[in-house]
Amino acid sequence: MPSIRQEWFSNVRNDVLSGLVVALALIPEALAFSVIAGVDPKVGLYAAFSMATVVAFTGGRPGMISAATGSMALLMITLVKQHGLQYLFAATVLTGLLQMLIGWLGFARLMRFVSRSVITGFANALAIVIFMAQLPELIHVPWTVYALTAGGLAVIYLLPYVTKAVPSPLVAIVVLTALTVLLGLHVPTVGDKGQLPDSLPVFLFPEMPINLHSLRIIFPVSLAMAVVGLLESMMTATLIDDFTDTSSNKRRECVGQGVANIVTGFLGGMAGCAMIGQSVINVKSGGRGRLSTLTAGIVLLILVVFLGPWVARIPMAALVAVMIMVSIGTFNWGSIRNLREHPKSSSVVMLATVAMVVATNNLALGVLTGVLLSGFFFAHKVGQILRVRSVAEDEGRVRTYTVTGQVFFASAERFIASFDFKEVVDKVRIDVSRAHFWDITAVSALDKVILKFRREATEVEVIGLNEASATMVDKFAVHDKDGAEDLLMSH
């Protein structure tokens, strides 16, 4: 009960008001994503309603908004073109099932491999993408649009100095709508984006043959959507954790996203995931609990179905102003200053993530690029920490090499190069008590060193292998096996 009270009713007034702002901001986005995917506008709007409402109950990050998104819409274009809407609904249900499975298998644990630089790059890239998405609304339009957008931004940023009783983005939307209606201004409105539906969604079973052929068509699309959806949701949850200084249950979020997509598919919606922009609007407007997400979903449906004519009159300039605020709020401005102060590798990872996302409009690709680069730089750094010192003993007849550090694929060459194979000694002792052998490349490097010394008729003794390294060496090393030279060559 205390956790239900905390997650649902600890911030009722702010949650309801911020949910209202999000609902208004979701409408043009859902319409735009429907256009991208090549589907009827109601498919995107029903998805926004269904995703937000279900995730409010099933998600693991209170206050995070899920709906139809651009990254998911891009993945379904070909499926809709070639096979039609019913296949999309089936693919959405399958996406949900795959997300639940991936969630149960512990996908959330992979977030440990996403470095802070990648998360910063992800946020910055999103800010740029969100801002760039507003530019078409500001090109070839009457001057009144610029005046309204500037006025909207002024209200958004200045009103909090006067009062924080109501979220300033909500006030901006209401004021600008009232102005355009009263003054009879001819500016682009939400109604220009597409026809708003006038009926409630109904439960439908996708009309398509259920066989292997159909599964072959939808499975690749569903798998791509499942992975991209979870990746974006996990990254958004991490950002909202940072913004609110609270933690979230990532595993529950994975499964919750899956449940929401299954319901959405049966209600005639397209697959969705967490939305960074809307989640930031929610948090910046004071939304913290699950009630804000539920309010956004339900209010969206009420607005669209019952108040459609009014919603259609909202000027796009008002929503552009809100999205510009989101863009400015999402961008990590400190990261520009940190470019000089942070290690070069961190900055490269951050910039590569940004560049990849902005260039491809694919968040998953950007994050993958960042993670791979982080792994490369980490391996390179750890590989540099290997040291091999040597001392001569027994009047120069014995040479002891002491190895300190990690021996693995990135440091194996350095390990081999640290030994002097031409020195004439009776015996070589290799002390590895301060080293660890991580992989087959490391074991192979040890084989090479031992066999090279033996070729020079030098006796070799390896001492101090820790338990894990010894297991690796016993299992994979060939230097003590018959025909070791040949075996090493075949490796």
* Rounded average pLDDT over 399-411: 89
* Rounded average pLDDT over 257-266: 92
The more confident residue out of 263 and 200 is 263
Q: What is the pLDDT of residue 151?
A: 93
For 213, other C-beta atoms within 10 Å of its C-beta total 8
Task: Decide if 111 contacts 103 (C-beta within 8 A).
Answer: no
Average pLDDT across the chain, whole number = 84
Q: What is the pLDDT of residue 468?
A: 86
Least confident of 97-106, 141-150, 157-166: 157-166
Which of 5, 72, 63 shows the shortest CA–CA distance to 34?
72
Q: What is the pLDDT of residue 34?
A: 78
Q: What is the pLDDT of residue 485?
A: 56
Q: What is the pLDDT of residue 402?
A: 92
Q: What is the pLDDT of residue 93?
A: 92
What does the alpha-carbon distance between residue 32 and residue 129 come to, in Å, rounded to a whole number? 14
Q: What is the pLDDT of residue 94?
A: 92
Residues of the chain above pLDDT 70, percent: 96
Q: What is the pLDDT of residue 490?
A: 47
* Rounded average pLDDT over 69-97: 84
pLDDT in tens, 111-132: 777 788 888 888 888 788 878 8
pLDDT band at 340 (very low <50, low <70, confident <90, very high): confident
Question: What is the pTM for the complete model shown?
Answer: 0.74
437 Cβ partners below 8 Å, 6+ apart? 407, 408, 443, 446, 465, 469, 472, 473
Q: What is the pLDDT of residue 7?
A: 67
Q: What is the pLDDT of residue 486?
A: 56
What does the alpha-carbon distance between residue 25 and residue 188 come to, in Å, rounded to a whole number? 15
Residues of the chain above pLDDT 90, percent: 14
Q: What is the pLDDT of residue 118?
A: 85
pLDDT in tens, 270-317: 888 998 878 888 888 888 888 999 999 999 888 888 887 887 888 888
Q: Is the pLDDT at 487 greater than 60, yes or no?
A: no
What does the alpha-carbon distance between residue 229 and residue 231 come to, in Å, rounded to a whole number? 6
pLDDT band at 352 (very low <50, low <70, confident <90, very high): very high
pLDDT in tens, 437-465: 988 999 989 888 988 888 888 888 888 88
pLDDT in tens, 205-242: 877 778 888 888 888 889 888 888 888 888 888 888 88
Which of 79, 333, 38, 112 shows the shortest CA–CA distance to 206?
79
Q: What is the pLDDT of residue 235?
A: 81
pLDDT in tens, 24-41: 878 777 777 776 777 777
pLDDT band at 389 (very low <50, low <70, confident <90, very high): very high
Q: What is the pLDDT of residue 96?
A: 93
* Rounded average pLDDT over 163-181: 84
* Rounded average pLDDT over 122-143: 84
Give the pair of three-digit tokens for residue 17.
């008001």
Which amino acid belongs to residue 250?
A: K
Q: Is the pLDDT at 261 greater than 90, yes or no?
A: yes
Q: What is the pLDDT of residue 469?
A: 87
